[in-house]
Amino acid sequence: MTRKNPPDVEEPSQQDIEVGKPKSWAAGIPGVVHSMAPALRDMGVNRSRKTLLAMNQKDGFDCMSCAWPDPSHRSTFEFCENGAKAVNWEATPVTVDSSFWTEHSVSDLRQRSEYWLGQQGRLTEPVYKPAGEDHYRPVRWGKAFTIIAEKLNSLASPDEAVFYTSGRTSNEAAFIYQLFVRAYGTNNLPDCSNMCHESTGWAMGQTLGIGKSTITYDDFAKSDLIIIMGQNPGTNHPRMLTALEGAKNNGAEIVAVNPLPEAGLIRYKNPQEVKGVIGRGTEIADQYLQIRLGGDMALMQAVSKRVLDAEEANPGTVLDARFIQEHCEGLKELKAHLANLDEDEVREATGLRTEEIDELAARYIKAQKVIITWAMGLTQQKKGVAAIKEIINLLLLRGNIGKPGAGACPIRGHSNVQGDRTMGIWEQMPPAFLDAIEKEFGFDPPRAHGADAVQTIEKMREGTLKVFLAMGGNLVAAVSDTHVAEAAMEKLEMSVQISTKLNRSHTVVGDEALILPTLGRTEIDRQEGGIQFVSVEDTVCAVHPSWGKVEPVGPNLLSEVAIVSRLARATLSDKANVDWEGFENDYDTIRDHISRVVEGCEDYNQRIRQEGGFVLANGPRDSRTFHTPTGKAMFTVNELEHVQCPPGRLVLQTLRSHDQFNTTIYGHNDRYRGIKKGRHVVFVNPEDLAELGLADGQFVDVHSEHADGRERVLRGYRVVAYPSARGCAAAYYPEANVLIPLESVAEGSNTPVSKHVVVRLEPARDNTVPTASPATT
Ligand SMILES: Nc1nc2c(c(=O)[nH]1)N[C@H]1C(S)=C(S)[C@@H](COP(=O)(O)OP(=O)(O)OC[C@H]3O[C@@H](n4cnc5c(=O)[nH]c(N)nc54)[C@H](O)[C@@H]3O)O[C@H]1N2
Ligand SMILES: Nc1nc2c(c(=O)[nH]1)N[C@H]1C(S)=C(S)[C@@H](COP(=O)(O)OP(=O)(O)OC[C@H]3O[C@@H](n4cnc5c(=O)[nH]c(N)nc54)[C@H](O)[C@@H]3O)O[C@H]1N2
Ligand SMILES: [Mo]
């Protein structure tokens, strides 16, 4: 493998931003061209062929860009434009070499943008920054593990250390990582899910007894109506558009609920079909509800109310009485509660007209099989848990759980975030799981709950956490209140990042810091016992193997499994009866333990080798069994509350552009929204602009307003007049995390409220703006 130098990293200035018209359709030929071109340029023909054609194939690797499932019949090009970007980003032959660390101090790297950091290429050797120094320097693996182990063993309590996980980690690595952390003695296992679908887990857990999707991939094709809420599949789950197209061809209706007119929800041109290449493509949404931010709970209540009223008018014809009788509890209370629903408040909260809501209710009542999908637009709201419970209420009314073509389908983000949870990455795993660990490994795991992502920052700020270790991710950029989070991180005594590429979390560190470079999913994983595969779980609970395909980018990389195994050996001596070395040599030995510890994973080694893997059992989906305290699916009563926006203010959501993967910035365009060469933009409805006395193209400072009085501001943002719902603005994450107070979290899940920030726009003091890094704003 020949090393390539990083390209000259050019970054546009704020003056370069070009704004065109938003697109009304997604994918199509430009999607394919956009996906192939960078790969061919950066990886060369051979590496591109080996990676792109192996993606999502049964003997290939699982795409790391999102958790969208694979159909059982796969096309040769079973990837999307953004999956190709993710592969290109990881499988690039560009590497960071030893001289980089002398050339660049940590303070220098801190001034760089996420884009620049990512462009430096793959990390290839462990590096260490001793206390009091401003440079990382290469260190041998053995030494790195000793430094970390000595630090961990010097702490007054294991609870002074915290172990973060991002959702790309494989099941095997996740399982032994949580095992190591619990054997060490803490449940401090926060993960990206705390900032992502945590609201889903709680809402579904409390109502259906399982925090996961109740459908399989094939249900999309069988559905009559699919309601897509708070989700932008054209960018974040592009292969979902193929499933939606299939559903439409089978006669399904689709309703989109979103404050923004997202291209992928309007029309889709399938690049793999003739009509997608030369024709108009497929209309996706039959009805598009441009709801206000945070209005979904009110909308779901209003639709449920109409369903109940229709039943009242024609008894015995609307509700699925038998299903409710056999499987549900709490309908009486729900009915009584919704009887008093205030329609004025619904209109105010949703910004929708009564006729629009009536139309949705009529579609829902007409359909026999309904799927509701959702993502961050719902989970990252103050009332996210309650809003999702209202989705479940609506589905239960007509028995839309546990029958073909119907169900609740949260669409996960990271490609294995769901599997990581199944494997025990959670700061509050239930006693049954901890008992199984105790039985299998002969040590008593800690029982007290650990810290989630937001609590982690709070405890760092208090000084009660001293060591931070991250299995992937970029917590300091991903979490809310960037400046608060950075100050907290800098109080640490030690930070350790297990990563593929540089990011901001390597530059905002404790006294001592280490970076441990790891193999990516595209790369061949050779161990003593031969070439290893790993396994992952997608958003519809299908578990399958993932085989690396290309040569590792450097000889000195370790797999995540090897890193955890060696770290555990260095730290724990014989504290637990675990053959850590065996794990590293042969991942089957890990899977044997998974079979005995993780519910639903019995015979894991055998079932993972079946063609296409296997689907985890799911009570609601398979047999209408609900593991709630009553054994029934629960209707719930949720008090409607919508956050009022004071006059002269807007509510802002933070979201993803088409050229990023979370905190990783691939480029500066957001093709579907018409933005080129820049990310520092704020999208505002033209009528709101007129009212505020602002104009498209003007530069503004975006101030967030919060009771604590702390100044939170993004300076010099370009205003883009955009057809968003009235009163609802948008700006890109992660930059906009500067605006979100750490204390602003969803009720019941502690997820940062990333989609509802009250802001004030003020004309910028001058027209010059610093480039991309959040710290420089
Ligand atoms: N290419 C690419 N793919 C990705 C990612 C990526 O960054 N890039 N990230 C991955 C991850 S970790 C995740 S979690 C998913 C995220 O996938 P999404 O949830 O689609 O991500 P966001 O960009 O946050 O988009 C949120 C959508 O919800 C809408 N929305 C915001 N607030 C509300 C609201 O109050 N109500 C309603 N109804 N809608 C609202 C927004 O307008 C936007 O369309 O994608 C995954 N896939
Ligand atoms: N304001 C705002 N904040 C948000 C969100 C939002 O919508 N708005 N979304 C939230 C959501 S949904 C999520 S999921 C979080 C994401 O939070 P994280 O998961 O912490 O962030 P990522 O940007 O996905 O992490 C990227 C880094 O992971 C490392 N990496 C990549 N591949 C691998 C691998 O194979 N192994 C290892 N060990 N490391 C790897 C690379 O170093 C890369 O820089 O952000 C949350 N924050
Ligand atoms: Mo996510």
The mean per-residue pLDDT over the stretch 389-418 comes to 97
Pocket lining: 196 vs ligand 1, CB cutoff 6 Å: yes
Nearest to 664 by CA among 192, 108, 14: 192
Nearest to 540 by CA among 620, 432, 607: 620
Q: Name every residue whose Cβ is closer than 8 Å to that of residue 13 and which is 6 or more positions away in sequence.
A: 769, 771
CB 60 within 8 A of CB 547: yes
CB 610 within 8 A of CB 189: no
Local confidence band at 51 (pLDDT 50, 70, 90 cut-offs): confident
The span from the CA of 657 to the CA of 679, in Å, is 8
pLDDT tens digit sequence for 501-530 = 999 999 999 999 999 999 999 999 999 999
Pocket lining: 484 vs ligand 2, CB cutoff 6 Å: no
Cα dihedral sign, 261-265-268-270:
positive
CB 256 within 8 A of CB 233: no
Pocket lining: 561 vs ligand 2, CB cutoff 6 Å: no
The values of phi and psi at residue 322, to 5°, are: -65, -45
The span from the CA of 70 to the CA of 217, in Å, is 8
Q: How many CA atoms are closer than 13 Å to the CA of 616, on its beta-carbon side?
A: 26
Which residue, judged by its Cα, is nearest atom 2 of ligand 1? Answer: 236
More confident: 158 or 770 = 158
Transcribe 27-64 into DSSP letters.
Answer: ESHHHHHHHHHHHHHHHHHHHHHHHHTTBTSTTSB--S
The size of the chain, in residues, is 777
Q: Name every residue whose Cβ is closer than 8 Å to that of residue 443 and which is 6 or more positions away in sequence.
A: 183, 437, 575, 576, 577
Judge whether residue 772 has pLDDT over 50: no
Closest ligand, as measured to the CA of 735:
2
Pocket lining: 704 vs ligand 2, CB cutoff 6 Å: no
**Of all atoms in ligand 1, which is nearest to the CA of residue 66?**
47
Pocket lining: 66 vs ligand 1, CB cutoff 6 Å: yes
Pocket lining: 661 vs ligand 1, CB cutoff 6 Å: yes
Out of 196, 509, 662, mutate this one to test ligand 2's pocket (max ligand atoms within 8 Å of CB): namely: 662
Which pair of structure tokens corresponds to residue 105?
A: 């101090």
Average pLDDT, the chain: 93
CB 535 within 8 A of CB 146: no
| Distance from the Cα of residue 225 to its chain's centroid | 25
**Of all atoms in ligand 2, which is nearest to the CA of residue 655?**
7
Judge whether residue 538 has pLDDT over 50: yes
| Distance from the Cα of residue 270 to its chain's centroid | 25
Q: How far away, in angstroms, is 263 Cα from ligand 1 center? A: 13
Judge whether residue 109 has pLDDT over 90: yes
Q: Which helix (H) or strand (E) holds 371?
A: strand 370-374
The values of phi and psi at residue 344, to 5°, are: -65, -40
Judge whether residue 775 has pLDDT over 60: no
Residue whose tokens read 């730290």 = 571
Pocket lining: 474 vs ligand 2, CB cutoff 6 Å: yes
CB 490 within 8 A of CB 468: no
* Residues paired with residue 670 on neighbouring β-strands, in sequence order: 675
- Secondary structure class of 14 (helix, strand, coil): helix
pLDDT tens digit sequence for 486-503 = 999 999 999 999 999 999
The span from the CA of 64 to the CA of 74, in Å, is 17
**C-alpha distances in Å from residue 312, one per residue of 223, 306, 309, 316, 335:** 26, 10, 5, 9, 11
Pocket lining: 456 vs ligand 2, CB cutoff 6 Å: no
pLDDT reported for residue 153? 98
- pTM for this predicted structure: 0.96
CB 420 within 8 A of CB 535: no
Helices (H), 424-503: 431-441, 453-462, 475-478, 482-489
Judge whether residue 32 has pLDDT over 90: no
**Of all atoms in ligand 1, which is nearest to the CA of residue 412?**
14
Q: How far away, in angstroms, is 697 Cα from ligand 2 center? A: 31
Q: How far away, in angstroms, is 412 Cα from ligand 3 center? A: 7
Residue whose tokens read 């690049």 = 271
Q: Which helix (H) or strand (E) holds 687?
A: helix 686-692
Local confidence band at 68 (pLDDT 50, 70, 90 cut-offs): confident
pLDDT reported for residue 692? 97
Share of the chain above pLDDT 70, in %: 94
Pocket lining: 724 vs ligand 2, CB cutoff 6 Å: no
The mean per-residue pLDDT over the stretch 672-676 comes to 96
Detail the DSSP E strand segments found in 176-257: 225-229, 253-257
Pocket lining: 755 vs ligand 2, CB cutoff 6 Å: no
The mean per-residue pLDDT over the stretch 719-729 comes to 97
**Of all atoms in ligand 1, which is nearest to the CA of residue 654?**
24
Residue 610's Cβ-count burial label (10 Å; 0-12, 13-18, 19+) is exposed
Residue whose tokens read 């504290």 = 575
For each of the domains in the chain, give its residue range(s) and CATH number, in order of start: 202-410 (3.40.228.10), 650-776 (2.40.40.20)
Judge whether residue 60 has pLDDT over 90: no
Judge whether residue 419 has pLDDT over 90: yes
pLDDT reported for residue 634? 98
Angle at 552 between CA 549 and CA 554, to 5 degrees: 170
Q: How far away, in angstroms, is 398 Cα from ligand 2 center? A: 37
Judge whether residue 276 has pLDDT over 70: no
pLDDT reported for residue 38? 66
Q: Which helix (H) or strand (E) holds 115?
A: helix 114-119
Which residue, judged by its Cα, is nearest atom 46 of ligand 2? Answer: 478
Nearest to 301 by CA among 231, 392, 406: 392
The values of phi and psi at residue 377, to 5°, are: -60, -25
Judge whether residue 463 has pLDDT over 90: yes
CB 517 within 8 A of CB 557: yes
Q: How far away, in angstroms, is 87 Cα from ligand 3 center? A: 18
Q: Which helix (H) or strand (E) holds 762?
A: strand 757-763
Pocket lining: 391 vs ligand 1, CB cutoff 6 Å: no
Which residue, judged by its Cα, is nearest atom 39 of ligand 1? Answer: 230
Judge whether residue 278 has pLDDT over 70: no
pLDDT reported for residue 773? 42
Out of 195, 197, 236, mutate this one to test ligand 1's pocket (max ligand atoms within 8 Å of CB): namely: 236
Nearest to 24 by CA among 673, 658, 659: 673
Q: How far away, in angstroms, is 98 Cα from ligand 2 center? A: 26
Neighbouring C-beta atoms of residue 18, cutoff 10 Å: 11
Which pair of structure tokens corresponds to residue 578?
A: 């675990």
Residue 156 identity (one-letter amino acid)? A
Pocket lining: 231 vs ligand 1, CB cutoff 6 Å: yes
Nearest to 55 by CA among 77, 31, 35, 86: 77
pLDDT reported for residue 81? 82
Residue 747 identity (one-letter amino acid)? E
Transcribe 468-483 into DSSP letters.
Answer: EEEESS-HHHHSS-HH
Which residue, judged by its Cα, is nearest atom 7 of ligand 2? Answer: 655
Out of 194, 290, 376, mutate this one to test ligand 1's pocket (max ligand atoms within 8 Å of CB): namely: 376
Out of 663, 737, 753, 759, mutate this one to test ligand 2's pocket (max ligand atoms within 8 Å of CB): namely: 663
Pocket lining: 166 vs ligand 1, CB cutoff 6 Å: no
Q: Which of 278-287, 348-357, 517-526, 680-689 has the lowest mean pLDDT?
A: 278-287
Pocket lining: 560 vs ligand 2, CB cutoff 6 Å: yes
The span from the CA of 507 to the CA of 471, in Å, is 16
Q: How far away, in angstroms, is 291 Cα from ligand 1 center? A: 15
Pocket lining: 289 vs ligand 1, CB cutoff 6 Å: no
The values of phi and psi at residue 553, to 5°, are: -75, -15
